Amino acid sequence: MGRDNRIAPQIQDWISIFLGIIVEATPFLLLGVVVSALVHVFVTEDALLRFVPKNPILSLVPAIGVGMLMPVCECGNVAVARRFLAKGVPVSACVTFLLAAPILNPVALIATATAFRYEPSVVWLRGGLAFVVAALVGLMIGHWGRGEELLASRLHRDHDHSHHHDHQHHDSTPAQGRVRGTVGKLGAVSQQAGNEFMTMMQVLVIGASVAAATQVLIPRSSITGIGAGVVFAIVAMMSLAFVLSICSTVDAFFALSYSNIFPTPALLAFLVFGPMVSMKSVGMMLTAFKPRVVFAMVTVTVELIFISALLLNLKGAFA
């Protein structure tokens, strides 16, 4: 009986923490997939590419702007970056887009602002650090070689057809065609948003389960002792981000659940590193770039984010 009494509060705590993360994060996840699907169906890449110059340095900011207007899943992100390369966009801009777009997505930034209401500096530090790291990695990879020298030998084009399928049907009556075309596109938006929501929701549930379990099962004193060492805390949160691969529109709520355990620089490292480099994204990068290029991207990203988090801690940016 005593054992049951000890277990019951733990289960209740786990359910409370788990549901708290799910309830806060789900609206932003839904908003993110709807915006992503709308842009994916109604906005063409060619229209956005007009704003990206050919200069490797001048193209960085417009590439980020395109990324903010074109929120897609990690899988689609890599496919879009690959098509940008084929259309002559500088390698530096493509890599910068690939790494920074998930974080600079307005939905992700709004979700971060909502989660960290008590510490608004996290929002602009996350966005600023994401841009700086992505731009530096992009410039380095762009300086390393031309697009064809960096691309993987076998490129999968699973996503290419989705950008053109909605233009294949035409009706004899223009007005009727416009109506049916709009209805068809809205149907495509609904289908894509639904599929992506179900996929991302599964990841969110797993992440929320892990966050709740670690806080309930591991003694608070043990976790606090680990979090007291900022170096280990940063490494731990970056490792967790890599393994969990949580969507950038909801990862802020996951990080928030550790705010009373780990220092804020470690949480910031989690928020910047996870959307850029994760088990899922690395696998997708390998379908577009050669292994040595992906290794270089990952290595430099890890180093820059780790050093940045340490510097922020030393400067007391969150004091």
Q: What residue spans define the domains of the chain?
A: 2-148+169-314
CA dist 297 → 68, 76, 89, 106 (Å): 21, 19, 18, 24
Residue 108: the pLDDT is 86
Higher pLDDT, 302 or 257: 302
Residue 21 has pLDDT above 60, yes or no: yes
Alpha carbons 170 and 75: distance in angstroms, whole number: 30
Half-sphere exposure of 264 (CA within 13 A, CB side): 18
Q: What are the pLDDT digits (tens) for 207-261?
A: 778 777 877 776 655 555 555 678 888 998 998 888 777 778 888 988 998 888 8
Q: Report, as an integer, the average pLDDT of 156-167.
A: 41
Q: What are the pLDDT digits (tens) for 109-129?
A: 888 999 999 888 999 999 999
Residue 173 has pLDDT above 60, yes or no: no
Alpha carbon dihedral 71, 76, 78, 84, in 10-degree steps, equals -70
pTM of the model: 0.72
Residue 221: the pLDDT is 59
Q: Report, as an integer, the average pLDDT of 18-39.
A: 77
